[in-house]
Amino acid sequence: MSDNTVYRASTTAPVNIAVIKYWGKRDAALNLPTNSSLSVTLSQKSLKTHTTASCSASYTGADSLLLNDEPEDIQSNKRTQACLQLLKRFRHDIEVKNPSAPKLSTMPLKLVSINNFPTAAGLASSAAGFAALVRAIANLYELPHTPTQLSLVARQGSGSACRSLMGGYVAWRAGTARDGSDSIAEEIAPVSHWPNLKALILVVSADKKGVASTAGMQTTVETSTLFKTRAESIVPQRMEEMEAAIHAKDFAKFAEITMRDSNSFHATCLDSWPPIHYLNDVSRAAMNAVETCNRKAGKLIAAYTFDAGPNAVIYYEEENEKLVAGVFRYVLQQVKGWEGEYGAQIPSNEQGGLEAKTVMTLKAGVSRVICTGVGDGPERVEEHLVDDRGKPVRI
Amino acid sequence: MSDNTVYRASTTAPVNIAVIKYWGKRDAALNLPTNSSLSVTLSQKSLKTHTTASCSASYTGADSLLLNDEPEDIQSNKRTQACLQLLKRFRHDIEVKNPSAPKLSTMPLKLVSINNFPTAAGLASSAAGFAALVRAIANLYELPHTPTQLSLVARQGSGSACRSLMGGYVAWRAGTARDGSDSIAEEIAPVSHWPNLKALILVVSADKKGVASTAGMQTTVETSTLFKTRAESIVPQRMEEMEAAIHAKDFAKFAEITMRDSNSFHATCLDSWPPIHYLNDVSRAAMNAVETCNRKAGKLIAAYTFDAGPNAVIYYEEENEKLVAGVFRYVLQQVKGWEGEYGAQIPSNEQGGLEAKTVMTLKAGVSRVICTGVGDGPERVEEHLVDDRGKPVRI
C-alpha cells in the first residue's frame, strides 16, 4: 500500500436513556460514578450518531474531529484525548506484536461525525457521540476488544457513553477499583429478550439551559445531605430489583422502579445547594398524564423518567400503545414527530381522561415528540463520511 | 352565682411558619413527629385566630364550635375531642383540690372562633386555630399550666399548633417518650431578642388543592427512601445549627438553613410514592427571585420557605426591606396586601435585576401578598365572641 492509503471505518451508535440514573462522580478525571446505573438502548431508526474514523500517513497536522460540519477543538478536550490515547495504545500493542500490521497508531486521525437528532431537542448527544467515536476507531484499528472492554474507554469520554456500546438493556457497574478497571458496562439482556418496549419522548421547550449535568452532579455530591443515602443504599438495591424485573419482563415492576428512581434523582437535585431544578410544570403534567394512564388501566402500563432537563421519556409495552402513546398523540397531534416507523402506527386515543389543566399544560409546553423503542447497539456501516482521499463527504 | 352564669375567656393566637419543617408522624393518634421542628411566630397584626371559650350550667347539649360563623362537627373530630378531654381533666383536678371552685369541667362548652386570614389564601389555619382553642379554654378554666405544658394539648389537635402557643422563635422537640410526654414546644428566643425579622408571604393561586399534609406526610414516612436520613440525621443537626443562628442573630446562617430545610422537605415529597408536588413554576420563580436578591447583595439577605403548598414565605431583616420586599413590591404592585402596618412602609424597588421570565411568572401566578414579621404568642383579649347570655356576637 502506498503512503497515501486512507484507512476508514464507520459506525452508527445509539442513544440510551437510564432507568436507574447516573448522577455523581467519585473520580472526575476517570469519570467513575458514585453508583451503578442501568439504561435502555434506544433504536437507531429514531436517534443515532454516525461516525467515520479515518487515518492516513498522508494526513498532516493533529487529530481532528468534524461534528455536524463544524470543527471541534479536540486537542484541548481532556476527555476526547483520554479516549484517543487509550485506543492508540491498544493499536500500538497490536503493531508491536505483529510488525506487518500498518502503523495506524502513528498516523493522524480524521474523525467525522453527524447526529440525526432533531435540532434543539435538548437531548444529550454525548453518549451516542462518544460511543460512536470509540466504536469507529476500534473498528479502524481492528481492535479485538469486546464492547464491555471498550466501555472502559468510552466511559472516560462521557460517563453514560459506556452504556451506548451495547443494545437492549445495559448496566454500568460502578466498580470499586481506584483505577476504574472494574467500572464497566455490560448488556444484561439483548433486545430480543424484551423487544416490545417502546419509548415516547416529549421534548419540552425550556426557557433556558439548566445547570449542565457535569457541574450539577458535583454540586449534588458535595452538598446534598440525602445523596449519600441514595448512592450507597437505595441504588444498589434498585439495581438488583431492576435486573430481576427486566429478566422477568415484569413491566409493572420496571415502571415503578423507573419512576421512583427518576424522582429520587430529582429529589437529590432539589436537595442540592444551591438547589437544581430540571423538572418544570410541563414535566409534572407529563407525570400526571402517565399516572392517569396507569390509574385508568388499573396497573402500571407506563413509566416516566427525566434526565437533566424537562423532557419526559415515557416507556410502555407495544400492546399498550393506544392506552399510553395514543393518549399523548390525541393531545399533541399538532406537534412534529409522529411520522416514521415508530410513530406512524400509534393510534390517536381520545379516551385518555386527562385533566383539562394537564392537557393545556402539555399542549403549551411540548414542542415535539420522538417515537422510538428499545434497540440494538452500534452498527458497523459502509457509508463513510470521509472519501478515499480523506475529504469529508456529505451524505 | 346563679345557674345562668356564662363563664367566658377570649384569646387571639398567631400563625407560625416553620424554618425547620415538621413532616412525618411517628404516632398518628398522639401527633408525635418523626423529627423536631422550629418556627417563627408571625405577628397577629397580620394574621390571627380570635377565639372565645365559654361554658355555663345553662347551656344544653354537647360542646360546640362555631368557626367563621359555621358550626363545626367537633363530636366526631378525634383531635378536637382529645384536646377538650385533656383540658377538662386539668380543670377537674383543680375542682377536686378546691371544692369551692365552680364545676366548669361539667358544663357544656360553647366555642366561637374567627380567622382573619384572607379568603382562599391557602394558609394553614389549623395551627392558629388549635392554639387559640387550647389557650382560650385554659384561660376559661384558669389553668396554671405554662405555654409549654399546654403545648402537649395543642399538639394533639394539630401538630404545628403547639408552636403557636408562644411568640418569637419556637422549637418543637420531637421527644422520645412513647406517650408523647416530652414532645413539647418551647420558646427558644422571644420577639425582643430579634425583633427586626420580617416576612413577606406570596400567595400563589394553585389550580387545585394538593395532597393534604396529614395524608402526604404519612405517604412520605411510608415510602420515601430518603426520608429516614432526613428525619434521623439531617434535621437533628440543623436544629442545633438553627438555634445557634437565632441566638447569634446570624441571618445568613438562618437563611441558608431555612432554604435548605425547605428544599430537603420538598425533596422527600418528590421521593414519595406516588410523588407529591407542592412547588410549582411560580414557587420556583420566587426561589429564583430570592437567589437574585442574595446574589445582588453579595450575601444572604433573604430566605424562602414553602409549606405543603406553592405559597412562598420570604424572611428578611428590616434593614434589607428595600432590597428584598421592595423588589417584590415593584414587580407585584398590582396585587392586594401591600397596605397595613407592615406593608405600607415597604418602598418599591425597581433595581431588583430579576430575569424577565421570573417577573412574568410571578406577575401571572401571585394572587396577593401578606406583609408581616415575627410576633408575640397568644394574647388574652376582652372582646368576647359570645355575649353574657351565651349568644354568639359578631365583632
Kindly report, residue by residue over B333-380, the tens digit of the pLDDT. Answer: 999 999 999 999 999 999 999 999 999 999 999 999 999 999 999 999
The Cα–Cα gap between B387 and A74 comes to 85
The per-residue b/e assignment along A100-114, b for 16 or more CB within 10 angstroms, e otherwise, is: eebebbebbbbbbbb
Distance from CA of A128 to the nearest CA of B (A): 29
Contact criterion met (CB below 8 Å) for B260 and B230:
no
- Given CB atoms, is A359 within the 8 Å cutoff of chain B? no
Helices A78-97 and A126-140, axial angle in degrees (round to 10):
20
Q: How many CA atoms lie within 13 A of B205 on its CB side?
A: 9
The Cα–Cα gap between A395 and A378 comes to 19
Contacts of B33 (CB under 8 A, 6+ apart): B22, B24, B25, B26, B159, B172, B174, B183
What pLDDT, on the 0 to 100 scale, is given for residue A394? Answer: 79
> What pLDDT band is residue B2 in, cutting at 50, 70 and 90?
low
Asked if omega into A102 is within 30° of 0 (cis), the reply is no
Contact criterion met (CB below 8 Å) for B84 and B63:
yes
pLDDT at B120 over 60: no
Strands (E), chain B: 7-14, 16-20, 25-27, 32-33, 37-41, 48-55, 64-67, 70-72, 109-115, 169-172, 185-189, 197-204, 302-305, 312-317, 366-373, 379-381
What is the rounded (10 degree) CA torsion for B131, B132, B136, B142?
30
Q: Residue A258 corresponds to which amino acid?
A: T
Q: Residue A389 corresponds to which amino acid?
A: R
pLDDT at A56 over 60: yes
pLDDT at A2 over 70: no
B266: chain A residues, CB-CB within 8 Å = 270
Question: What does the pLDDT look like over B194-242, one tens digit per residue?
Answer: 999 999 999 997 666 678 888 999 999 999 999 999 999 999 999 999 9
Beta bridge mates, B348? none
Query: Which helix (H) or strand (E) is B159 found in, with range?
Result: none
For A180, the grid coordinates are 476504574
A270: chain B residues, CB-CB within 8 Å = 263, 266-267, 270
The Cα–Cα gap between A117 and A228 comes to 35
pLDDT at B95 over 90: yes
Distance from CA of A166 to the nearest CA of B (A): 30
- Given CB atoms, is B68 within the 8 Å cutoff of chain A? no
Contact criterion met (CB below 8 Å) for A112 and A64:
no
The Cα–Cα gap between B260 and B239 comes to 12
Distance from CA of B184 to the nearest CA of A (A): 27
> For chain B, which domains are there?
7-190 (3.30.230.10), 197-373 (3.30.70.890)
B225: chain A residues, CB-CB within 8 Å = 229-230, 233-234, 260, 264
Question: What does the pLDDT look like over A303-328, one tens digit per residue?
Answer: 999 999 999 999 999 999 999 999 99
The Cα–Cα gap between A42 and A46 comes to 8
What pLDDT, on the 0 to 100 scale, is given for residue B183? Answer: 98
